Structure 1
Amino acid sequence: MSYPDGVLALVTGGASGIGAAVATKLRADGVRVVTADLATGADEKLDVTDPEAVGALVEELGTVGILVHSAGIVGPAKALTETGLDEWQNTFRVNVDGTFLLCRAVAPGMVRNGWGRIVTMASIAAKDGNPTQSAYSASKAAVVGLTKSLGKELATTGVLVNTVAPAAVETPMNAHTDPAVLARSQALTPMGRFGKAEEIAELVAWLCSEQVSFSTGAVYDASGGRASY
């Protein structure tokens, strides 16, 4: 994979899981990477729902050429009728507001440079709608819509915006997911297994590279055959 000389990548949710795997892959490819997360182990501590904190970090870093926004939460695992408004709103704050704030912060610098790559993290749940995960499914569907819209807005600027929609992946985030939800996901996956963070990172790294030049506003499935559209 090739990237512009000296390009800086910001990877949110970079302390573990897919974010950490993406950071490792990009560094191996010679990219300068800064990871950001609320959890320990990242280069920078960042609450992606805090607009001031997001703006300050991006200003401190200077021009971010690659954004991989992997920070997210699963949210409540319960029937919609039992889901509290606070649980619903918190899931959207992290998964949707966080995506909006990071994209809004980095896009102007990318446009000025005439080159940039933004990769957001959706989910197969955005397409299928997982039962007892209405907040998560709806929030990830919103990420898809945001990505498609922004991809079209920036289509002639040299900045490409795409999203990845994995099925269940072996990550620390899913350690807190309802086992019944995970079992259902695996049963629906023709490959009969969970994905690995390193597998998702390979796809993300390609989307961040110069090899991708004619794709934007697209959804890339990594679902072991589960995705049907």
Structure 2
Amino acid sequence: MSARYDLSGRLAIVTGGAGGLGRGIAGAFIDAGARVELWDANASALADSAAALGPHATTRTVDITDAAAVEQAADAAFTTHGRVDILVNNAGVLGEVKPIWETSPENFQRVLQVNLFGSYLVTRAVVGRMRDQAPRPSKLTPHPLRGHVVNIASIQGKEGMARAAAYSASKAGLIALTKSVAKETAQDGIIVTAITPAAAETAMAKEISAERRADILGRIPMGRFVEVEEVARMVLWLSSDECSFSTGGIFDLSGGRATY
């Protein structure tokens, strides 16, 4: 991907960095001149992502549902790099694809723990420290920014979807979290946004049945899944100084599926 934005000297944290979407977003950042720290609980998959991305990617094995581990990781990231300019809350799990009366309470809780509570913990730790760092001067805006946070939600968080109650609820919560944190940091020079993509061709998409895949495709007017590169390009803009007044914004990437 050719760089359209200059992120030279920036440090980005991408959670879920061992997965295809996290790797794609990290690659876009690196192409734009940033360094990236990948966070994930899967150490071996993290190593594979770092090897594929090259020397500008480092890794940190973190269970984002563990408050103490997240605090320790945030401390280490800011100490190592001096500052963190971008946070992408990308880590997520799909959970069971069943009607709610057949679901496991433990699985439902696990999905919310990773997708929503984990994003809360990471945001709490990183934004709390980001507020204390100096604003970065920019040629693009007279209002210097301290950083950007981009949350990877889902179109299912806006519309809901049958047999995906936990996933849909977790992503709806992430949308609300985005708007709340954006209001809290609006005068701190921190831009907080989210995207609501349709399904992408990642490992998560491979977890669903052919019938489920056809159902999802049938809801997308474009008739295809979003490409990882398309998600990465939108995240790249939302993480750049070009995005300086859109805090609290929720950006659709749904191939026409979104109804509001």
1:139-184 CA-to-partner distances (Å, cap 9, x unmatched) read 1100000001101111111001100111011001221124333221
> Matches of 1:180 and 1:140 in 2, distance apart?
23
Larger Rg: 2
Determine if contact 2:11/2:36 at 8 Å carries over to the other structure: yes
Which 5+ residue runs of structure 1 have no aligned equivalent?
none
In the alignment, does 2:29 pair up with 1:29? no
Q: Which has the higher contact order (CA 8 A, sep 6+)?
A: 1
In structure 2, the residue matched to 1:93 is 113
In the alignment, does 2:148 pair up with 1:110? no
Alignment of 1:149-168 (within 5 A): 149-168=180-199
Alignment of 1:14-25 (within 5 A): 14-25=17-28
**2:232 alignment partner, SS class:** helix
Among candidates 68, 79, 104, match of residue 99 of structure 2: 79
Alignment of 1:1-229 (within 5 A): 1-3=5-7, 6-39=9-42, 40-42=44-46, 43-62=59-78, 63-113=83-133, 114=135, 115-229=146-260
> Matches of 1:181 and 1:110 in 2, distance apart?
40
Determine if contact 1:17/1:173 at 8 Å carries over to the other structure: no
Which 5+ residue runs of structure 2 have no aligned equivalent?
47-58, 136-145
**1:198 alignment partner, SS class:** helix
Identity of aligned residues (%): 41
Q: CA RMSD in A?
A: 1.2
> Matches of 1:152 and 1:190 in 2, distance apart?
33
> Matches of 2:209 and 2:167 in 1, distance apart?
13
**1:74 alignment partner, SS class:** coil
> Matches of 2:178 and 2:212 in 1, distance apart?
26
**2:132 alignment partner, SS class:** helix
**Which amino acid letter does the alignment assign opposite residue 104 of structure 2?**
G
The answer to which of 34-43 and 214-223 deviates more is: 34-43
**Which amino acid letter does the alignment assign opposite residue 96 of structure 1?**
L
Total equivalences in the alignment: 228
Report the alpha carbon displacement of residue 85 of structure 1 after superposing the two structures with TM: 1.0
Report the alpha carbon displacement of residue 225 of structure 1 after superposing the two structures with TM: 1.0
> Matches of 1:211 and 1:198 in 2, distance apart?
19
Determine if contact 1:2/1:211 at 8 Å carries over to the other structure: no
Report the alpha carbon displacement of residue 41 of structure 1 after superposing the two structures with TM: 3.3
> Matches of 2:213 and 2:29 in 1, distance apart?
29
Determine if contact 1:168/1:182 at 8 Å carries over to the other structure: no
> Matches of 1:179 and 1:166 in 2, distance apart?
20
Query: Which portions of structure 1, spanning 4 or more consecutive aligned residues, are displaced by more than 4 angstroms?
Result: none
Report the alpha carbon displacement of residue 109 of structure 1 after superposing the two structures with TM: 2.2
